[in-house]
Chain A
């Protein structure tokens, strides 16, 4: 069982320029299995908020077929391609170029004793490791701070990173680049543990998911966060319940 709390908040610069929040995020927990995806729409792309939403929702639909077995790398690639196809379809429907729906893409699928991660572009997937927190991939910004890779890019496959981790993960976070400067130690090229530990602690110790979501959203829109970033920000947090029983003894559908 997973406890999931997530949300996206419009950046202060988007508020000023009247652009909508272009991030989108969602997750589904089913017994020991958790599937989550987040996307960050390109600031320069007029309808990238639609791109983010299409990609995330299609990925969750596509990967729903998985039961608790480690997916093949090729399967994950196929789901991402389905997500991308949905974005391209939407751009045809809207009669704009795919570039207008450009977004980054981050996904995690966590099973009982394994996890699969996929990412195109920047943003971070973080999970608990043996000592502190690990990240799936260092964010791909290209050389410059205002450049990244998008799911809609023709050569997105060259920048798609997939990793399958064959061990049990009990804490998962996904965030978009608006929070990168707070959550990563760039000089050390590592996760800033003190950003994540209180977040996971709060999820475990806090009330139900709805109440936690309200305080997560107010945290994301707090002055303390906004002083450090003017971009849209998304945070997905999930902890595996302490009351998990081994799959062989569980009566939950697996």
Chain B
């Protein structure tokens, strides 16, 4: 390798500093009154697990972005998109009705805005995920929201997943998303979020042309 001493060689090449591509995920979380007690406690623990697991993976920690919209009485954006490094798991409490439809529309709007921000800054990104987690069903008119979900899925604008605990209105969830709703085993939010973090890790490492194989969902009831 003495050749390399005589001239600077290829190593003299300087690399462009581009931002990492992003893997955005918005969580639509049911914090209505019926979630009080153990369900909300398990959900909070699950969110902490999500942060810890993603943060432990250096690539996913830089690439995965999380946002949270809650619906319980009112719809609140409690966390706009941040990378995992800057994500602080919230402590949610439960009260009120289930304005799920409005939360869906809020979440989809946030995705559109986020994509515009990525584009304006030359940041490449993966298909955003929406995760709706509920123990009931919408008590607001959901047809317009369902329409928007179907349109977005058809255009591959995002992937919309619904997860219901025992007693949720699965018939309505089926009509909201083009993907079949998944029934959570008991209150196993922890495993759900472990799965979500593993899936975000595999997506954040995929290259063009990769069809990402998601890990098996051990938290779902078969």
Tell me if B179 counts as interface (CB < 8 A to partner A).
Answer: no
Of A81-89, A154-162, A224-232, the segment with at least 4 beta carbons within 8 Å of chain B is A224-232
Docked complex Cα distance between A81 and B16 (Å): 34
Taking the closest CB of chain A, its distance from the CB of B206, in whole angstroms, is: 4
| Chain A minimum-CB-distance residue to B14 | A194
Given contacts A45-B209, A144-B127, A177-B208, contact A219 B14 (CB under 8 A): no
Tell me if A97 counts as interface (CB < 8 A to partner B).
Answer: no
Docked complex Cα distance between A143 and B121 (Å): 14
Contact of A145 with B126 in the complex, beta carbons under 8 Å: yes
A 42-93 contacts with B by CB, 8 A: 42-45, 48
Taking the closest CB of chain B, its distance from the CB of A238, in whole angstroms, is: 14
Docked complex Cα distance between A222 and B3 (Å): 17
Contact of B16 with A102 in the complex, beta carbons under 8 Å: no
Contact of B126 with A146 in the complex, beta carbons under 8 Å: yes
Contact of B3 with A182 in the complex, beta carbons under 8 Å: no
Docked complex Cα distance between A231 and B208 (Å): 10
| Chain B minimum-CB-distance residue to A203 | B10
Q: Mark B69-90, 1 if CB is under 8 A from A, else 0.
A: 0000000000000000000000
Docked complex Cα distance between A28 and B181 (Å): 56
Contact of A198 with B14 in the complex, beta carbons under 8 Å: yes
For the complex of A and B, the 6 pairs showing the least CB-CB separation, nearest first, are: A42-B209, A187-B122, A186-B122, A192-B16, A198-B12, A219-B10
Chain B residues with CB under 8 Å of A194's CB are: 13-14
Chain B residues with CB under 8 Å of A198's CB are: 8-10, 12-14
The residue that A202 contacts in the complex, of B8, B122, B211, B212, with Cβ under 8 A, is B8
Taking the closest CB of chain B, its distance from the CB of A101, in whole angstroms, is: 12
Tell me if B18 counts as interface (CB < 8 A to partner A).
Answer: yes
Binding site for A on B (CB under 8 A): 1, 3-4, 7-16, 18-19, 21, 121-127, 156, 203, 205-212
Tell me if A185 counts as interface (CB < 8 A to partner B).
Answer: yes
Docked complex Cα distance between A104 and B207 (Å): 13
Given contacts A189-B122, A215-B3, contact A13 B207 (CB under 8 A): yes
Given contacts A150-B209, A182-B15, A198-B12, contact A205 B7 (CB under 8 A): yes
Chain A residues with CB under 8 Å of B7's CB are: 201-202, 205-206
Contact of B209 with A145 in the complex, beta carbons under 8 Å: no
Give chain B's interface secondary structure class.
loop
The residue that A146 contacts in the complex, of B10, B14, B121, B206, with Cβ under 8 A, is B206
Chain B residues with CB under 8 Å of A42's CB are: 208-210
* Contact sample, A vs B, 19 pairs, CB 8 Å cutoff: A13-B205, A122-B208, A141-B124, A145-B126, A146-B203, A147-B208, A184-B16, A185-B122, A186-B18, A186-B19, A187-B18, A189-B122, A194-B14, A195-B14, A198-B8, A198-B9, A215-B1, A216-B10, A219-B11
Tell me if A249 counts as interface (CB < 8 A to partner B).
Answer: no
Contact of B123 with A186 in the complex, beta carbons under 8 Å: yes
Tell me if A170 counts as interface (CB < 8 A to partner B).
Answer: no
| Chain B minimum-CB-distance residue to A11 | B207
Tell me if A148 counts as interface (CB < 8 A to partner B).
Answer: yes
Tell me if A181 counts as interface (CB < 8 A to partner B).
Answer: yes
| Chain A minimum-CB-distance residue to B213 | A44
Contact of B10 with A199 in the complex, beta carbons under 8 Å: yes
Chain A residues with CB under 8 Å of B126's CB are: 144-146
Taking the closest CB of chain B, its distance from the CB of A161, in whole angstroms, is: 16
Chain B residues with CB under 8 Å of A48's CB are: 209
Docked complex Cα distance between A201 and B9 (Å): 8
Chain B residues with CB under 8 Å of A222's CB are: 11
Chain B residues with CB under 8 Å of A224's CB are: 11, 15
Docked complex Cα distance between A199 and B8 (Å): 10
Chain A residues with CB under 8 Å of B122's CB are: 185-189
Q: Mark A126-159, 1 if CB is under 8 A from B, else 0.
A: 0000000000000001011111101000000000
A145-B124, A219-B11 known, 5 other contacts, Cβ within 8 Å: A45-B209, A146-B126, A146-B207, A206-B3, A222-B11
Contact of B208 with A215 in the complex, beta carbons under 8 Å: no
Contact of B1 with A146 in the complex, beta carbons under 8 Å: no
Tell me if A183 counts as interface (CB < 8 A to partner B).
Answer: yes
Chain A residues with CB under 8 Å of B121's CB are: 187
